[in-house]
Amino acid sequence: MEPYRLKLKEALEAIKNSELSPVELTEAVLSRIEAVDEKVKAYVTVTKEHALKRAHTLEGSNEALPLKGIPLAIKDNLCTEGIRTTCSSRILENFVPPYESTVTMRLLDAGYVLVGKTNLDEFAMGSSTENSGFFTTRNPWDTERVPGGSSGGSAAAVAADECIAAIGSDTGGSIRQPASYCGVVGLKPTYGRVSRFGLVAFASSLDQIGPITKTVEDAAILMNIIAGHDLRDSTSAEVECPDFTSTLGRDIKGLRAGIPKEYFSEGLDSEVEEAVKKAVSVLEQEGLEVEEISLPHTEYAVATYYILATSEASSNLARYDGVKYGLRVEAKSLLDMYLETRSKGFGQEVKRRIMLGTYALSAGYYDAYYRKAQQVRTLIKRDFEDAFKRVDVIITPTTPTVAFRIGEKIDDPLKMYLNDIYTISVNLAGIPAISVPCGFNSEGLPVGLQVIGRAFDEETILRVSHHYEQLTEWHKRRPEL
């Protein structure tokens, strides 16, 4: 097997047993990027020289590190000291952070090798990576289709074996939806479980960083590195972190799963529905107790999300004014400079969301929109709390359809927004969820199964999804490029 095809756990074992060196693995991954990224376009920046230098340093060290020599890709909205961090936006095209994010610092301490920064929808605003300020990433299963978003570059890189694993961020489904479209595993941890320090903010009450991997076990291994309290992030939770791999392999007999009827209604593709129901049936045969439940406020999730997320974006993106850092367009007056910089620096979708958010927060509309959305958010959170009194996990499709064609929805924002209908509620409630491959449709495109858990109970969703993964072969399939 080519080294770049290795799963994270396999690569770790190969390096530990001296069957493979950090340099050999890094060179194999970099060669793979050179061979296929022209088709996939997963990377904004490939850090070839940096990666090889780092791999050589690690190879010469006798230190036993948990991720020693593992080439990973990082979504380009996490700050990496001395390495360009663009958020796939023209306004930050030449921004080089003077500091490291907490997540990437923890990965560095664990011995990882950064092979590149991956493409995303600009400032993580989108569901297809078509909103990148630079180019559209393509789905490795069908390069005429989107990889999903906003972590489309990370998911496509993992699916195309252009890295051993990757890090993404999830504000309304941005890890799970591209993982589903690209046939890989994507975990959104509980809000506060992973530090957001150094993640360029989109919507601060919703953003969360998580792993995109080839297997559930690989996701658990990365969670052991990146999770944990951080004093530099005021929203970081002071909750003890377990060993996320500890429950993998335990049987699921007696665990209870809820199937929300609201997630199996109009708009769900019949082949996606069939694949998800078959997956539930597989788990049922293993002793999982399944019952139908209701999450009655699901229908308000998309509207609620697009008021709260855009309001927070409007506030967070006010800092890009051409004064402190990033793009500056010279003009005759200060006001003109602000206008020109923001007009030329931001793309259409980012401008749309800033305007929506500014409107929702404006005098006379704040109570009608923002305050009301916060109240509905509480109701959505309560739906999950009530459900988790009866069940241990909730199982749903990750997305209503498989990956759509490039350009198919870009001119219809509402259609695009509805694409995240099954993932958004999880962010509003602040709870963890994972997407795992559960089949392919008749066109050979991947389908994702979403497993949702209680706050700070990543262990149970990892246990259930790992058990399912061990019974099936879907995660072993790789696209031909």
Residues carrying an active site annotation: 75, 150, 174
Tokens for 259, please give them: 């199937």
User: What are the start-end ranges of the H helices in 327-389?
Assistant: 334-345, 348-361, 372-387
Give the CA distances from residue 47 to residues 33, 97, 155, 279, in Å, rounded to whole numbers and listed in that order. 11, 15, 18, 39
Distance CA 182, CA 165 (A): 13
Distance CA 426, CA 84 (A): 31
Q: Residue 257: which residues within 8 A CB-CB, separation 6 or more?
A: 280, 283, 288, 289, 290, 291, 391, 392, 393, 394, 395, 464
Give the CA distances from residue 401 to residues 6, 26, 98, 268, 423, in Å, rounded to whole numbers and listed in that order. 29, 35, 41, 6, 13
Tokens for 167, please give them: 């890090």
Start-to-end C-alpha separation, the chain:
16
Structural element, H or E, at residue 157? helix 152-159
Structural element, H or E, at residue 216? helix 216-226
Are 389 and 267 in contact by the 8 Å Cβ rule? The answer is no
Distance CA 241, CA 262 (A): 33
Distance CA 25, CA 18 (A): 12
**Phi and psi, residue 327, nearest 5°:** -60, 140
DSSP class of 201: P
- Whether cis (ω within 30° of 0) applies to the bond prior to 281 is no
**Phi and psi, residue 150, nearest 5°:** -85, -15
Distance from chain centroid for Cα 234: 22
Q: Residue 323: which residues within 8 A CB-CB, separation 6 or more?
A: none
- The per-type count for the chain, helices as H runs and strands as E runs, is 15, 11
